[in-house]
Amino acid sequence: MSEAILVAQGLERRYRRACALDGVSVSISAGESLAIVGESGCGKSTLLRCLAGLERADAGSVHFGGAEVSPLRGEDRKRFCRSVQLVLQDATRALNPWWSGLTLVREPLDLLRRDLSMPERETVARCWMDRVGLPASVVERLPGELSGGQRQRLLLARAMTLSPSVLLLDEPLAGLDPPIQAAILELLKGLRSERPLATVLVTHSLGAAAQGAERIVVMRSGRLVEQQTMTAFLAGPQDPYSREILAGWQARQANFVKSPPIKSSGSAH
C-alpha cells in the first residue's frame, strides 16, 4: 500500500451530551478507495468534516502530507483545501439555487485559483462538466432544473476542478436510483484510474461500499470497530457488529435473488 497522505489520530468530538467521535484513528493512502459504513448518527459525517478541516476535533489531530491541518493558515491552508475536497450529501443545499451550472463548477477556481484568468477557469470548468457526463445544456441551467444524478455530478465536477489528491464523499448516492448509483460509482472508479486520487466514501449501503472501495472502516456510536480490506471483510468480519451488518446485507441479497417474478393477474383464455 502507498504511504498514508491523510491521517487522523485519536479524534474526539462531543456535542453537548452526545459523543460523535471517541478516539477515532484512520489513514488514507495515495490513490486508495476507502469506505466508511455504519448506522445513522455513528459519527461518519463528523469524521469526514474533521478530515476536510471544516470542523476541529476536541482532541486528537489530522495530518496531511505530514503537516497538522488545524494550524494551517494563508497559502498553506489554500493548498490543503485544493488537495482535499469534500462532496456534501445534500446537493440541493450545497448548490446556490440562483447560479448556473457553469458558475457553480467554476466557483472553487474563482476562490482558490486566481492565478488563472477567467477564460482559463471557465475552460477548466467546462472540461470537468463534460468529463463527469453532464450534457452541454447544464452550463446555463439552474440546480432546480436538474435531476438528482445531474446535481451529484455537478458537485463532483466542482471538486475535481482543483485536481485534489483526496476526495471525501458524504453519502453521495443517497436518494438516487440504483442504476444512477452504479453510474456514479463507475465514474469515481474511472477518475481514480486516470490520476492518483484517493476517495473516501461515507455510505449506509454495504453494497455500494463493496462496489466502490478496496478497504472498509466500520463505525458504531462514535467508535471505529473494524478496519479491513474489502476482500477480508466480505470473507469474515472480526467485530460482532460488523458481522451483523454483513449478515443483514447478505440476507437482503439472497431474498432479492430468490424473489419470484411478478405474474400477470389477467386470466388466461
What integer pLDDT is reported at residue 86 of this predicted model? Answer: 94
According to DSSP, the residues that pair with 21 across neighbouring strands are 13
> Distances from the Cα of 145 to the Cαs of 89, 107, 137, in angstroms?
19, 19, 11
Regarding pTM above 0.85, the answer is: yes
**How large a percentage of the chain has pLDDT more than 90?**
72
Predicted confidence (pLDDT) at residue 267 exceeds the cutoff of 50 = no
Predicted confidence (pLDDT) at residue 256 exceeds the cutoff of 70 = no
| 38 φ/ψ angles, rounded to the nearest 5 degrees | 155, 165
d(Cα 209, Cα 154) in Å, to the nearest integer?
22
Look up residue 170 and give its three cell numbers: 458524504
Look up residue 246 and give its three cell numbers: 454483513
Look up residue 13 and give its three cell numbers: 468530538
Task: Decide if 86 contacts 108 (C-beta within 8 A).
Answer: no
Stated as kind and residue range, the H or E segment containing 179 is helix 178-194
CA 222 from chain centre, in angstroms, equals: 19
What integer pLDDT is reported at residue 266 of this predicted model? Answer: 47
What is the torsional sign of CA 125, 154, 169, 221?
Answer: positive
What integer pLDDT is reported at residue 162 of this predicted model? Answer: 95
pLDDT tens per residue across span 192-204: 988 889 999 999 8
Task: Decide if 80 contacts 72 (C-beta within 8 A).
Answer: yes
pLDDT tens per residue across span 86-137: 998 777 778 899 999 999 999 999 999 999 999 999 999 999 999 999 999 9
Question: Please, what is the average pLDDT of the chain?
Answer: 89
What integer pLDDT is reported at residue 54 of this predicted model? Answer: 93
CATH fold of 4-254 reads Rossmann fold (3.40.50)
Look up residue 187 and give its three cell numbers: 465514474
Please provide the distance, in angstroms rounded to a whole number, between the alpha carbons at the two ends of the chain.
Answer: 65
Q: What is the mean pLDDT of residues 26-30?
A: 94
Q: Please state the domain extents for the chain.
A: 4-254
pLDDT tens per residue across span 131-184: 999 999 999 999 999 998 899 999 999 999 999 999 999 998 888 888 888 999
Predicted confidence (pLDDT) at residue 262 exceeds the cutoff of 90 = no
What integer pLDDT is reported at residue 1 of this predicted model? Answer: 53
Look up residue 6 and give its three cell numbers: 491523510
Predicted confidence (pLDDT) at residue 263 exceeds the cutoff of 50 = no
> Distances from the Cα of 5 to the Cαs of 54, 105, 156, 199, 237, in angstroms?
18, 26, 21, 12, 26
* Residue that is written with C-alpha cell 471525501 in the block: 168
Look up residue 178 and give its three cell numbers: 440504483
